Structure 1
Amino acid sequence: MKSNKKELSATQREELLKTLKNRFEKNMIRHKGIEWAKVQTRLEAHPEKLWSLDDMEITGGEPDVVAHDPKTGAYIFYDCSAESPKGRRSTAYDLEGVESRKEHKPENNAIDMATAMGIELLTVEQYRELQQFGNFDTKTSSWLKTPDDIRALGGALFGDRRYDTVFVYHNGAQSYYAARAFRGALSV
């Protein structure tokens, strides 16, 4: 069990780095031209980000490097699990969505869970980028960061892949489904 300090033990760090390195090496198409040694050095310099990556891993997100920002030196991780992360399913979009339900309220919401994990929901653009690396959410769907104007009207966005096409849809922010979670992004 993790402590509230958002810090991993040496053993947990070692296990996480090994998992991330293995995934990195198996999925080179996601990060052409990026070297694992540089990623690991950056990760070790930011232990609070390791805590967030561990949360992504524990909830089934399978985080992996998908980009490098040459201006900041940051490496960008997305949840790369084939389907939406199991440990984040059956969530409404945000707390307002949960509170607007009269009955059968979900236990969690995507925005608060992501904030607690130290990550951001993928934007529509990031979700489409992710889909360039493979077929994601062919049986599930993922909440996406929703523009304020859509959210102000009670809606929220989600995406999935069906019929070999990436779709972005809308739903009421209060809805939740057993096959819908959220995917996150983390800059390290």
Structure 2
Amino acid sequence: MSSTKKELSAEQWESLLNTLKARFEKYRNRHEGLDWADVQAKLEVSLSAGQVSAEKLWSLHEMERTGGEPDVIGQDTKTGEYIFYDCSAESPKGRRSVCYDRKALEARKENKPATSALDMAAEMGIDLLTEEDYRKLQQLGNFDMKTSSWIVTPDEIRKLGGALFCDFRYNMVFVYHNGADSYYAARAFRGSLRI
């Protein structure tokens, strides 16, 4: 369960750090040219830097807790921030069966899902992947070969009631549309976080 203060206990932090380190070492192709010691130092600075930074670590923990298996996929050369994406093989299990946004959730007359992708992402403090992000992720491995993931939808499409999602089939990324109020057991969303 998430804490209302959005802070991690010492045990949660230690467990998260060990998990992230093991994943970083296992999937070196995702972050060529980056060193774990530098990433860990940045995370530890965030831990002691104040509330906003501590909340980012809580967000990273939420990505892990909901099945996203976050990993470093790059570093912003201008800001120095490390970029984390959800790198679980399939769309995160703890975020499935959600419609696209609050408007879609409220529009459903019956059989409403518990929440929406945008609401859940906001609560977690992460951003949904864009189509560009999703394509970048797929260059690092094969993801969503059995599931699909909501992505950021352009306003023009959303205003007409639609929303976009992606998956990976036949060695290719496919971008599809659906009613924003739809939800499926095999569709969640992937997020990104900068620290």
Same fold, TM-score > 0.5, yes or no: yes
Q: Please state how far the C-alpha of 1:106 moved relative to its aligned partner.
A: 0.7
Identity of paired residues, percent? 69
Partner SS state of residue 133, structure 1:
coil
Is the CA contact (8 Å cut-off) linking 1:43 and 1:49 kept in structure 2? no
Q: Distance in 2 between matches of 1:147 and 1:2?
A: 30
Partner SS state of residue 71, structure 2:
strand
Matched with 2:177 is 170
**Is residue 64 of structure 1 aligned with residue 71 of structure 2?**
yes
Q: Judge which range, 79-88 or 160-169, deviates more.
A: 160-169
Matched with 2:153 is 146
Unaligned runs of 5+ in 1: none
Q: Distance in 2 between matches of 1:14 and 1:124?
A: 33
Is the CA contact (8 Å cut-off) linking 1:114 and 1:120 kept in structure 2? yes
Q: Please state how far the C-alpha of 1:133 moved relative to its aligned partner.
A: 0.8
1:55-81 per-position Cα deviation (integer Å, ceiling 9, x unaligned): 000100000000100100000000000
Matches within 5 A, 1:76-115: 76-115=83-122
Q: Distance in 2 between matches of 1:3 and 1:109?
A: 20
Q: How many aligned residue pairs are there?
A: 188
- AA paired with 2:77? P
- AA paired with 2:108? R
- AA paired with 1:11? E
Matched with 1:43 is 43
Q: TM-score, normalised by structure 1?
A: 0.98
1:138-184 per-position Cα deviation (integer Å, ceiling 9, x unaligned): 10000001111111111111000111111011111000000000000
Unaligned runs of 5+ in 2: 47-53
- AA paired with 1:29? N
Q: Please state how far the C-alpha of 1:100 moved relative to its aligned partner.
A: 1.2
Q: Distance in 1 between matches of 2:3 and 2:63?
A: 16
Is the CA contact (8 Å cut-off) linking 1:52 and 1:119 kept in structure 2? yes
Is the CA contact (8 Å cut-off) linking 1:140 and 1:179 kept in structure 2? yes
RMSD: 0.8
Matched with 2:33 is 33
Q: Please state how far the C-alpha of 1:2 moved relative to its aligned partner.
A: 3.4
**Is residue 4 of structure 1 aligned with residue 4 of structure 2?**
yes
Matched with 2:51 is none
- AA paired with 2:5? K
Partner SS state of residue 43, structure 1:
helix
Partner SS state of residue 8, structure 1:
coil
Q: TM-score, normalised by structure 2?
A: 0.94
